[in-house]
Structure 1
Amino acid sequence: MTQTDLAAVANEAHAWFEGYVETFIELAAKGSTDPAPLLDYFSVPISMTTGTAHTVLASAEALSQGLAHELRALRDADYGGSTALDPVVRGLNERAAEIEVTWARQDRQGREFQRVRVLYLTARTDAGWRTVASVILAG
């Protein structure tokens, strides 16, 4: 059995996640509600858990609708940008990593209106890195 370089896995997942962060912030800051640029960052099915609900989005259509809903909510909040605070990326094995980050969201005037800590379970699939599950952590 070969030794897995978990630091290399974490670095690879972190670089991929930075691309997601940039894509998401740019899209949402423009007020777009079209989730198409985000779809390749997620696996279908995907499990999403908050403090009040657990949902499995089992189709690309369901994922697209869920992302569009989030983008609309940000547009309605006069979203201007986010800062990904304190990202922690941990390689789990050769094909998986967990990413924990606090999103500090600001409106167009630069005022913070939301702070939320999220745990993403990511996997290196045949199509590349994808988020396979996300959990909103208790504050």
Structure 2
Amino acid sequence: MPHRDLSAVEADVRSWFDQYVSTFIGLAAAGRTDPAPLLDYFAVPITMTTDAAHMVLTSTDALTAGLANELQALRDAGYGGSTALDHQVRALNERSALVEVTWARNDTGGREFQRVRVLYLAARTVAGWRTTASAILSP
């Protein structure tokens, strides 16, 4: 089986993910808690894991509630923005890629209040690129 150059897939995923980042940070920094603009970046069902829990969100309503909770938590923390540190994209094949990034989250005064490393599995679906799974990595 010949080795394929997957750099075009990585560039495509990077562009898609950058749009997601811009949308998410824009909503959260504005204090908005309606996640509707984010829904097209995720597949349903989606699997999410942390050290504390494993969740499978099997409906758009469950995804909407989960994203709304995250946006509300950031609003409550006085969120002002995030910086994506050491952002890495690795194409696995023509239809999937891993995105790994450390988020440095800042409050409205510019002070960092949280760092979190996240691994996203993205898949090219009939609707375009979507996150199908995410994991918060242990520090």
Q: State the TM-score, normalized to the length of structure 1.
A: 0.97
Task: Determine if contact 1:44/1:57 at 8 Å carries over to the other structure.
Answer: yes
Equivalent residue for 2:137?
137
Equivalent residue for 2:6?
6
Instruction: Render the CA deviation track for 1:31-74: whole Å, top value 9, x for unaligned.
Output: 00000000000000000000110000000000000000000000
Equivalent residue for 2:104?
104
- Structure 1: state its 5+ residue gaps: none
- Structure 2: state its 5+ residue gaps: none
Residue 107 of structure 2 is aligned to residue 78 of structure 1:
no
- The ranges of structure 1 where at least 4 consecutive aligned residues each deviate by more than 6 angstroms after the TM superposition are none
Query: Between Structure 1 and Structure 2, how many residues are aligned?
Result: 139
Report the Cα offset of residue 7 of structure 1: 1.4
Which amino acid is 2:55 matched to?
Answer: T
Q: Any idea what SS the aligned residue of 2:21 has?
A: helix
Identity of aligned residues (%): 68
Which amino acid is 2:92 matched to?
Answer: L
Report the Cα offset of residue 5 of structure 1: 2.6
Instruction: Render the CA deviation track for 1:60-116: whole Å, top value 9, x for unaligned.
Output: 000000000000000000000000110010000000000000000000000000000
Equivalent residue for 1:116?
116
Q: State the TM-score, normalized to the length of structure 2.
A: 0.97
Residue 42 of structure 2 is aligned to residue 45 of structure 1:
no
Q: Distance in 1 between matches of 2:57 and 2:138?
A: 22
RMSD, aligned CA: 1.0
